[in-house]
Amino acid sequence: MAKWLPLARVVDCPPGTGMELVAEDRIVALYNVDGTFHALDGVCPHQGGPLGNGTLEGCIVTCPWHGWQFDVRTGQHQLNSRVVQPRLEVRVEDEWILVDLG
């Protein structure tokens, strides 16, 4: 069942940036790719690095700890097809970015 929660304001995450946020008991990595928001589980599956603090280039984020790279639109690891970071659904409503924690 969907459980939409406000995560951040649209103005807080400009195009080309990402940020780390906490929503209830989850760490969420939020990204803005050319005006479209995407959210991933914010804990890197390698050793727990903060994906929301990674470098975003186009739609690829690089984990700041050891450089694993993911497509933020799909969660797909860029070298290992078996590694897919969980995604969260995102929508924008009244200048707020909401994620589905359901």
Separation of alpha carbons 102 and 93, rounded Å: 18
DSSP state of 12: G
Shortest Cβ 48–ligand FES spacing (Å): 6
By CB under 6 A, tell whether 70 contacts ligand FES. Answer: no
Stretch that binds ligand FES, among 6-14, 20-28, 65-73, 85-93 (CB under 6 A): 65-73
Shortest Cβ 50–ligand FES spacing (Å): 8
Question: What is residue 88's three-state secondary structure?
Answer: strand
By CB under 6 A, tell whether 49 contacts ligand FES. Answer: yes
Q: Which two tokens stand for residue 23?
A: 């929503």
Q: Are 42 and 49 in contact (CB under 8 A)?
A: no
Residues binding ligand FES (CB under 6 A): 44, 46-49, 63, 65-68
